Amino acid sequence: RGVAAARAVQAAPHGARLRHVGVVLCRQRPGNAGGVVFMTLEDETGLVSVVVRRRTFARYTALVRTAPLLEVAGRIERRGGAVHLVAERLARPRLPRPPTPRSRDFR
């Protein structure tokens, strides 16, 4: 609910605030980036580049380092044709619980 697909993230205007959920494909924390972490998330419609600034990283370190699936809330930044989602909040997405299969007891 209220989660933008990758396609919608790419089309969103500069400064728009939104949420995206995706599988974490890669994480990069270059030594010359001043503590910024760059991540690529993927959903069924495409890829999203996520920028996690130092202060946000400090708050969500465990999630940024280990979560295979992330919900990112933030704002869109457009520069030179590139589109980034600048993270403000991160969370493990709440997924619906799969239905419990009926027992099939054979005699």
Residue 30 confidence (pLDDT): 84
Residue 1 confidence (pLDDT): 63
Strand 69-79, strand 37-43: pairing: unpaired
Nearest 5°: CA angle at 19, between 53 and 62?
Answer: 45
Comparing CA positions, the residue from 92, 56, 58 lying closest to residue 75 is 56
Name, in order, each residue with C-beta under 8 angstroms of 71's C-beta and a sequence gap of 6 or more.
Answer: 3, 19, 20, 21, 90, 91, 92, 93
- Residues of the chain short of pLDDT 70, as ranges, are 1, 107
**What pTM was estimated for this model as a whole?**
0.84
Within 1-107, residue ranges assigned H as helices are 6-11, 54-59, 61-66
Amino acid at site 19: R
Residue 94 confidence (pLDDT): 81
For residue 42, what are its two tokens? Answer: 């993927």
Q: Which domains does the chain have, with CATH numbers?
A: 6-91 (2.40.50.140)
Strand 82-91, strand 46-52: pairing: parallel
CA atoms within 13 A of residue 107's CA, in its CB half-sphere: 0
Residue 92 confidence (pLDDT): 93
